[in-house]
Amino acid sequence: MPYLNDGAIVILHDVILNQLDFNWREAFATGALLSVVTSKEKFLNSDDTNKTLPFCYPNIGAFKVDRTTRENIEDVFLALMLNWHYMPNNAMLETYRTFYKRYYPAHLVDIFNEAIRLNRNYMAKKK
């Protein structure tokens, strides 16, 4: 977000991948992001004329970055509380943490850190 200007269009692929194949049932991150991000404009290319699939909800979506996106970025951080499918290594987590500390308020970094802690716990129990 810090590098995107208002008016930028963010395109997300695989927004319903978890619905397309049972083996991908945990692949819901981009769909969750599209659901929780706030924007005055979201785009879904629904096509009910495509008869190759039994539904018309698209697997690609987009949103336009605007003031409301920035004002409600906490919602995106809160989505990190969803169960993760894998845990990035410590170096990668530290890279994200350093970035978030640079661009976001401390309470959002705290949400990120708690999401890591909770998901580590979840994954330990899942084994």
91-115 residue pLDDT tens: 999 999 999 999 999 999 999 999 9
Task: List pLDDT tens digits, range 7-65.
Answer: 999 999 888 877 777 776 777 888 899 999 999 999 987 666 656 666 667 788 999 99
pLDDT confidence tier of residue 90, bands split at 50, 70 and 90: very high
HSE value, Cβ hemisphere, 13 Å, CA-based, for 91: 0
Residue 73: its pLDDT value, please? 98
Instruction: Inform me whether the pLDDT recorded for 80 exceeds 70.
Output: yes
Amino acid identity, residue 119? N
Residues 6+ apart with CB under 8 A from 101: 109
Amino acid identity, residue 7? G
The answer to whether residues 65 and 76 touch, using CB atoms and an 8 Å cutoff, is: no
The answer to whether residues 59 and 50 touch, using CB atoms and an 8 Å cutoff, is: no
Q: What is the pTM of this model?
A: 0.85
Burial class (CB in 10 A: 0-12, 13-18, 19+), 3: exposed
